[in-house]
Chain A
């Protein structure tokens, strides 16, 4: 006997869920379906692996259709129950549903989950809904219809006009109008022309491009095809960061199936148009995310940027006219062509239309990928969607824009996020990383962290960037060690100004942002380090001692258990104490104490 359940089970196999064991969930469910094949009742259900659902904090995520039930933090031990209740029958396993912290209610559908409610999925529209290795899944959701329209119903000029009307600005960070780039490139007669996708996502704390490449590769292919048609390009390249193994694999697979279906190659959809795309794996250099460095790298050179007296749209890859856009930009193209530029323009703000994907990470409760209309406030993003700060600690700042972005303080939480407002606040949109910081984040250490990152990644070609970063790093390191002096702050401000003015490429020009923005908003914290030799967050080891406040300590032994150095002693229900001689200052105690009994003091003062 056969029992066709009609169920489609989507198991999230994004990187976050995979790390939490979603592969076992996928194979476990498939096995259970298969096991019924020889039994009395053969159960039929479709078990699919999808890309990242975004709510990585609560992975692995399993979604059951058509019931529209989403389960979170699914373990192998839950599978029998899911199979029996929700696949063979239409019952719900209550305990695996999302628990809304605000109402205490269990939530059945993803659409009612507060994490998803305020989101508008456009670039991420298919991710989590389709199997990225199945082109039919993509087509079922309208995939390649925009290409058909562009090839059969639209002229080059009409495509350019549609993108122009949409007002789409490049999602890679700088927000350059996409249509302007395409139009310029189209205006040159030189041949061949190239289309490039920048998938060298290097910003720490940002993983939206990875998610799209892994979870919906065909949308990128389709976007590139439409551009290629509009500017009459012959070939395309996608430069994918080498660390992104799954992205390379899924993209390669997508290219193959697109070729098989006639979407790539010669005479695409019988239109006489030829185009194909090649993957280039990155070499692990952050600067290669810069467009001219990326092109140098594709050509087989060291990935150094060049001065842009002549723009890549005129002379780019191998000296030919080239359009380079970021992954998220490409993913936005098919819906614009399909639904019209006007539709896209109606979303978001007047100067930054559309949606933006942010990766919400750091000290935020709901870590994950979210896509929201431009113009959303930081407060909505961090508190309504992100669920606020972990452990109910106080929000201190949010860092946006990657290493060369800036830190935005709590006083600006009602800022409406778009390209222009973030820049005005001393930060930038960048690729869309949003790193939430709390009282336990030292802003001097954060500045030092970014400068260190950039100093390592600076290609060293121009002096302002190379020497500026090196000197900023020296000063910041000294401050973190309690060796700063009063003049340091002015000196750093001067270096920052010189770099912004004189560096060769975007990396160097924006590199002082983390220092400049923390100097602007968190000067007190710098002064605490320099004048008082004290790190208020308890992060800079030389400037910190951890002590237990006897009035607050309940003697619960939680800190004792969490101390990796066995530096805390104390009997149950008696006040504990930290031995400064053994303390490695990892902060595990302060992070785990539920009574705020562990406190920071000026380094050396507890001895």
Chain B
């Protein structure tokens, strides 16, 4: 699938679900997964499919945290700020990433390589503080360790 073409992708996703309101959340999740955000063009198609006003779709897309209406970076850095991570100084990691990549939580680097997010608990409290880059978990991250992780990540990206 070509994610640069939201309309055919959306249509393909819609074709999998009955035209009922209760599938709205699932459809939006699939869209988010496919594009890493919910493209503006997709929303009217979804609204028509489940017979809801566009405003309602917008309200759902902004209410639920897993959705983003603006494009995210290729690589998603999630710093867990659940309680266990928080009291093991997870926000120091956020500060450190901000210093190194110049992005605050919710922001994306201008080259669209990285987005930074804090999340509420990944349930991996034994290895707190936890950071996840895409699907790779980093355990017991320290500010010093963070620098190495990011420079390794970057060189891996440059190689590919």
Contacts and interface: CB of A to CB of B under 8 A. Distances in A.
Interface stretch (A32-40, A117-125, A296-304, A321-329): A296-304
Contacts of B63: 283, 285, 302-303, 459
A283 B25 contact: yes
A281 B25 contact: yes
B52, B65, B119, B120, most chain A CB atoms within 10 A: B120
Nearest to A205: B83
Contacts of B87: 362-363, 435, 437, 441, 446
A249 to B, nearest CB: 14
B113 interface: no
A564 B121 contact: no
B84 A204 contact: yes
B84 A562 contact: no
Interface of B: 20-26, 28-29, 50, 52, 59-60, 63-67, 81-84, 86-89, 92, 95-96, 119-128, 130, 137, 139, 142-144, 146-147
Interface stretch (A12-20, A252-260, A546-554): A12-20
Interface residues of A, number: 59
A348 interface: no
Contacts, number: 150
Contact of B126 (A361, A441, A446, A453): A361
A57 interface: yes
Contact of B92 (A281, A298, A586): A586
Q: Which 7 A-B pairs have the closest CB atoms?
A: A283-B64, A56-B126, A207-B123, A204-B82, A204-B121, A564-B143, A284-B65
Given A19-B124, A300-B23, 13 more contacts: A56-B124, A204-B83, A299-B21, A300-B50, A361-B125, A362-B88, A399-B83, A564-B144, A586-B92, A586-B96, A587-B89, A588-B142, A588-B143
Nearest to B78: A243
A408 to B, nearest CB: 14
A2 to B, nearest CB: 39
A420 interface: no
A433 interface: yes
A450 B89 CA distance: 15
A16 B124 contact: yes
Contact of A210 (B29, B64, B123): B123
A202 interface: yes
6 contacts: A15-B123, A16-B126, A283-B64, A362-B83, A450-B83, A586-B96
Contacts of A298: 22
Interface string A498-512: 000000000000000
Contacts of A299: 21-22
Contact of A19 (B67, B139, B142, B143): B139
A58 B72 CA distance: 35
A341 B140 CA distance: 43
A453 B65 CA distance: 13
A361 B64 contact: no
A588 B130 CA distance: 16
Contact of A586 (B28, B81, B89): B89
B144 A562 contact: yes
